[in-house]
Amino acid sequence: MRAAGFLITALLAALIPVSAGLQFGQICSGNPTNSIRGWDTKGAGHYGAPRGAKTHKGVDVECEDGSTVYAPADLTITRRSRPYGNSVAIDNGISFTAGGICFKLWYIQPVKTSGTVQKGQRLGTMLNMQSVYPGITSHVHVERCDKADPTAIVSS
């Protein structure tokens, strides 16, 4: 009977999302609630928003160009991450893990590209998005590496 109890506990643990309980703090100065970009001339920033024949696989947290970007949780930066790979002015960011989940955070100039950072510490600076997409609501892009919806973790 003890083995059956262990098996049930293991199965239940496997079904509970790893993200249970993970809640991001403030990502960008000036946006304490991590408001997600609404509709503008370039589209919308919510998960699943249309992108031509594709859909948006992250969320865009409003952030003014030049703003300070904070660690939204205790995290480990695993590497630099470039959304475009073409060195345009906003082609920079990081990949990190927090709460056992891998994320990408784009459109920032990171202060470092590896190591640990505590929640609330400075991660970097929002790059000049207006230089690439004039008229868009400037934002940092947050995406889970597994492409799952990060909205519940990001929004407070």
Within a domain: residue 49? yes
Q: b vs e for 56-65, b when ≥16 Cβ sit within 10 Å of the residue's Cβ?
A: bbbbbbbbee
21: confidence class by pLDDT, cuts 50, 70, 90? confident
7: confidence class by pLDDT, cuts 50, 70, 90? very low
Using the predicted structure, report yes or no on whether residue 5 has a pLDDT greater than 50: no
Q: Give residue-wise pLDDT tens across range 59-118.
A: 999 999 999 999 999 999 999 999 999 989 999 999 999 999 999 999 999 999 999 999
CATH number of the domain encompassing residue 141:
2.70.70.10
Within a domain: residue 14? no
Within a domain: residue 9? no
Query: How many domains in the chain?
Result: 1
Handedness of CA 130, 108, 81, 141 (dihedral sign): negative
Domain ranges, residue 108 = 22-154
Q: pTM (2 decimals)?
A: 0.86
Within a domain: residue 115? yes
Within a domain: residue 44? yes
Contacting residues for 104 by C-beta, under 8 A, at least 6 apart: 58, 81, 83, 93, 94, 95, 141, 142, 143, 144, 145
Within a domain: residue 10? no
Within a domain: residue 15? no
Q: Can you tell me the mean pLDDT for 29-43?
A: 95
Using the predicted structure, report yes or no on whether residue 145 has a pLDDT greater than 70: yes
Provide the 10 A C-beta neighbour count for residue 6. Answer: 10
Within a domain: residue 95? yes
